[in-house]
């Protein structure tokens, strides 16, 4: 009986706890922030895969989760992560999961959890109290390595720790699963890559596995994982963050892009500019392929999601083999549906809305990538590369070039009957919708500046028109000429490599005009999402059956949105 009473008592306390929790108010501002991200399921018909590929995919996802854990170590550390996940306000928990920490990545990394200050510039890569003079005085040459962290030892002195030591415990888990994956992998290229990547993870020597990855041509599955991008080290930009993408190749689209890359030399000849700015012969072996992503983890899953991968970053590997560019089709589709379509519905005139299509969007984005190979790499009549000559102005002009030359290619290939299912009108109007999406955030980075310059140019030429009530339309006839004009201007800017011209043009024309700014505000007041987040994982893909008992329970997505209380 006594036992029974204590059970009742326990239940009563628990109930009170639940009621108490429900009474706790959620901050509506944070709720609004969570809603900036549209939730999208990452699905894939795994029935198309061979049984060993299904098993590999499940293993890759679990290895990706290890990368995810290490990334949390790199941002705030596990103790802080768990503390954040115990916050009573569910929206804070969700938003911290989206941002991998208490700082809002879409809003200049401002802290959104009470009690947290500004984001440390060096995150967890360096001691928070480290002074630059202290770092400068540190003698260890490995301090600037992309694969080490800096810590204080028990005497309070700075010490450099390699990643494979710092994250040894987690990496051992990854190692076990990688060995299993190698054991079942039937594709020789993929297996070779996994073997070299395993050696890399446990030694921090990544170059060999990067080189092997560059040679992977035939594997349907791909797995990008490890410490890769340095964006998060705002202190020095040295340290790489762990992340993972689990990918499946879209063979049909990949073959189509390979075919179009072969046409680059002809495309180069047809560019609407002075012959001297197109005298270089573009390479045709650029490696651009199309993938569906089934899992994002770590750095790439934090905040806004990328729709393309261009790797490796190792310059030695780039010099020997170039880079591989992966276009992430299902994620592009998600962004099109959740963001671009509603933006078009808000800002484009009704009778042109049917011309905003995913196929047109996908072509424009892919050809943007292909078109980076057009124009010149070296200043005409000079000794410098365009990149060296244009310095900090280079990125914006290079993006502007890829964008407009890509559209020019799409237009020509449609007219030649090479691209089907997309009309020239679709390409133009979807292109304008894409610019409106991009300029929404102003001139914060290279793509933004490039797109604002282009938008303003098109508007000035009368190719983009604005109705009195703030809707936009394309004048299809004027658009053709405007594309040629803008492409000529951009190609000339790169070809001459005149830094002062490039800079003053961008300063004058890379600014969102007040009229457009006002129209763009409609997007915020309509709560159109800014980016996406994923429902993803082994369960989502129907791969539960692939988890072996001895591996322990799979960490599936539920964990990502931890319950309020255990």
HSE at residue 266, side-chain half, CA atoms within 13 A, is 9
Strands 110-111 and 103-104, by their bridges, are antiparallel
Nearer to Zn ion, 180 or 306 (CB): 306
- 145: its two tokens: 């390595």
Please state the closest distance from residue 426 (CB atom) to Zn ion, in A.
Answer: 21
Please state the closest distance from residue 446 (CB atom) to Zn ion, in A.
Answer: 8
Please state the closest distance from residue 491 (CB atom) to Zn ion, in A.
Answer: 15
Q: Decide if residue 317 touches Zn ion (CB under 5 A).
A: no
Size of the site for Zn ion (CB under 5 A): 2
Q: Coil, helix or strand for 462?
A: coil
Please spell the DSSP secondary structure of 148-199, one letter per residue.
EEEEE-TTS-EEEEEHHHHTHHHHHHHHHHHHHHHHH---HHHHHHHHHHHH
Nearer to Zn ion, 303 or 406 (CB): 406
Q: What are phi and psi of 232, to 5 degrees?
A: -80, -20
CA-derived radius of gyration, the chain: 25
Please report, as residue ranges, which positions from 447 to 486 form the binding site for Zn ion (by CB under 5 A): none
Nearer to Zn ion, 243 or 369 (CB): 369
Please state the closest distance from residue 371 (CB atom) to Zn ion, in A.
Answer: 8
Please state the closest distance from residue 398 (CB atom) to Zn ion, in A.
Answer: 7
Nearer to Zn ion, 332 or 402 (CB): 402
Nearer to Zn ion, 311 or 402 (CB): 402
Nearer to Zn ion, 366 or 541 (CB): 366
Nearer to Zn ion, 177 or 365 (CB): 365
Please state the closest distance from residue 308 (CB atom) to Zn ion, in A.
Answer: 8
Nearer to Zn ion, 81 or 401 (CB): 401
CB 372, CB 398: distance < 8 Å: yes
Nearer to Zn ion, 77 or 322 (CB): 322
Please state the closest distance from residue 336 (CB atom) to Zn ion, in A.
Answer: 18
SS3 labels along 55-115:
HHHHHHHHHHHHHHHHHHHHHCCHHHHHHHHCCCCHHHHHHHHHHCCCEECCCCCEECCCC
Please spell the DSSP secondary structure of 316-328, one letter per residue.
HHHHHH--EEEEE
What is the spatial distance between Cα 491 and Cα 497, in angstroms, rounded to a whole number?
10
Please state the closest distance from residue 121 (CB atom) to Zn ion, in A.
Answer: 27
- 118: its two tokens: 């500004």
H or E segment at 503? helix 499-509
Nearer to Zn ion, 58 or 410 (CB): 410
Strands 221-229 and 241-249, by their bridges, are antiparallel
Nearer to Zn ion, 250 or 369 (CB): 369
Please state the closest distance from residue 399 (CB atom) to Zn ion, in A.
Answer: 5
What is the spatial distance between Cα 186 and Cα 221, in angstroms, rounded to a whole number?
11
What is the spatial distance between Cα 553 and Cα 559, in angstroms, rounded to a whole number?
12
Q: Annotate each residue in 82-101 with x if it binds Zn ion (CB under 5 A) or - if it does not, as one string.
A: --------------------
Q: Coil, helix or strand for 249?
A: strand
Please state the closest distance from residue 372 (CB atom) to Zn ion, in A.
Answer: 6
Please state the closest distance from residue 219 (CB atom) to Zn ion, in A.
Answer: 25
Nearest residue to Zn ion, scored by beta-carbon proximity: 402
Q: What are phi and psi of 534, to 5 degrees?
A: -115, 145
Please state the closest distance from residue 261 (CB atom) to Zn ion, in A.
Answer: 15
Q: Which residues have C-beta within 8 Å of that of residue 455, sequence separation ≥ 6?
A: 435, 436, 439, 464, 516
HSE at residue 404, side-chain half, CA atoms within 13 A, is 30
- 335: its two tokens: 């962004």
Please state the closest distance from residue 298 (CB atom) to Zn ion, in A.
Answer: 23
Please report, as residue ranges, which positions from 371 to 410 form the binding site for Zn ion (by CB under 5 A): 399, 402
What is the spatial distance between Cα 559 and Cα 82, in angstroms, rounded to a whole number?
11
Nearer to Zn ion, 98 or 267 (CB): 267
What is the spatial distance between Cα 544 and Cα 62, in angstroms, rounded to a whole number?
12
Maximum distance among all Cα pairs of the chain, rounded to whole angstroms: 96
Nearer to Zn ion, 85 or 325 (CB): 325
Nearer to Zn ion, 57 or 311 (CB): 311
Please state the closest distance from residue 122 (CB atom) to Zn ion, in A.
Answer: 29
What is the spatial distance between Cα 259 and Cα 274, in angstroms, rounded to a whole number?
27
CB 124, CB 165: distance < 8 Å: no
Please report, as residue ranges, which positions from 109 to 168 form the binding site for Zn ion (by CB under 5 A): none
Q: Which residues have C-beta within 8 Å of that of residue 417, sequence separation ≥ 6?
A: none
Cis peptide, bond prior to residue 400, ω within 30 of zero: no
CB 19, CB 564: distance < 8 Å: no
Instruction: Return the ∠ at Cα 240 (arms to 109 and 219), rounded to 5°.
Output: 115
Q: Which residues bind Zn ion (CB under 5 A)?
A: 399, 402
């Amino acid at each position: 009986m006594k036992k029974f009473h204590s059970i009742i008592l326990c239940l009563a306390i628990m109930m009170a706890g639940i009621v108490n929790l429900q009474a706790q108010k959620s901050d509506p501002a944070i709720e609004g922030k969570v809603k900036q991200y549209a939730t999208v399921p990452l699905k894939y018909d795994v029935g198309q895969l061979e049984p060993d590929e299904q098993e590999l995919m499940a293993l890759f996802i679990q290895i990706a989760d290890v990368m995810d854990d290490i990334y949390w170590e790199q941002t705030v550390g596990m103790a802080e992560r768990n503390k954040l996940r115990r916050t009573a306000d569910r929206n804070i928990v969700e938003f911290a999961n989206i941002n991998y920490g208490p700082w809002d990545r879409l809003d200049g990394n401002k802290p959104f959890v009470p009690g947290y200050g500004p984001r440390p510039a060096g995150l967890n890569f360096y001691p928070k109290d480290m002074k630059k003079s202290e770092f400068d005085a540190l003698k260890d040459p490995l301090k600037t390595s992309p694969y080490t962290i800096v810590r204080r030892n028990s005497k309070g002195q700075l010490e450099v720790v390699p990643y494979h030591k710092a994250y040894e415990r987690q990496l051992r888990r990854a190692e076990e699963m990688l060995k299993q994956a190698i054991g079942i992998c039937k594709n020789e290229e993929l297996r070779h890559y996994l073997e070299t990547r395993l050696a890399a993870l446990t030694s921090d020597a990544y170059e060999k596995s990067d080189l092997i990855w560059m040679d992977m041509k035939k594997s349907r599955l791909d797995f990008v994982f490890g410490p890769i991008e340095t964006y998060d080290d705002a202190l020095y930009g040295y340290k790489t963050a762990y992340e993972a993408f689990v990918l499946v190749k879209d063979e049909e689209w990949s073959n189509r892009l390979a075919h179009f890359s072969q046409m680059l030399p002809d495309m180069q000849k047809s560019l609407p500019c002075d012959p001297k700015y197109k005298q270089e012969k573009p390479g045709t072996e650029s490696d651009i392929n199309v993938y569906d992503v089934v899992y994002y983890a770590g750095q790439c899953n934090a905040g806004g999601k990328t729709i393309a991968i261009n790797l490796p970053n190792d310059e030695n590997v780039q010099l020997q083999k170039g880079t591989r560019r992966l276009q992430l089709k299902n994620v592009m589709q998600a962004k099109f549906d959740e963001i671009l379509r509603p933006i078009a519905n808000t800002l484009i005139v009704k009778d042109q809305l049917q011309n905003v299509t995913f196929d047109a969007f996908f072509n424009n984005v892919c050809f943007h990538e292909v078109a980076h190979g057009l124009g010149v790499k070296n200043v005409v009549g000079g000794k410098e590369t365009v990149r060296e000559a244009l310095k900090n102005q280079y990125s914006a002009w290079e993006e502007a070039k890829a964008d407009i030359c890509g559209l020019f290619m799409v237009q020509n290939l449609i007219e030649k009957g090479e691209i089907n299912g997309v009309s020239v009108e679709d390409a133009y109007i979807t292109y304008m919708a894409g610019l409106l999406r991009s300029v929404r955030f102003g001139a914060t980075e290279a793509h933004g500046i490039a797109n604002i310059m282009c938008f303003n140019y098109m508007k000035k030429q009368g190719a983009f028109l604005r109705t009195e009530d703030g809707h936009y339309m394309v004048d299809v006839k004027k658009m053709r000429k405007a594309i040629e004009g803008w492409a000529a201007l951009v190609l000339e800017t790169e070809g001459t490599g005149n830094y002062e011209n490039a800079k003053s043009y961008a300063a004058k024309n890379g600014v969102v005009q007040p009229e457009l700014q006002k129209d763009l505000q409609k997007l915020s007041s309509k709560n159109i999402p800014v980016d996406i987040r994923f429902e993803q994982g082994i369960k989502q893909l129907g791969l539960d059956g692939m988890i072996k008992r001895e591996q322990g329970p799979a960490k599936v997505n539920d964990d990502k949105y931890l319950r309020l209380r255990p």
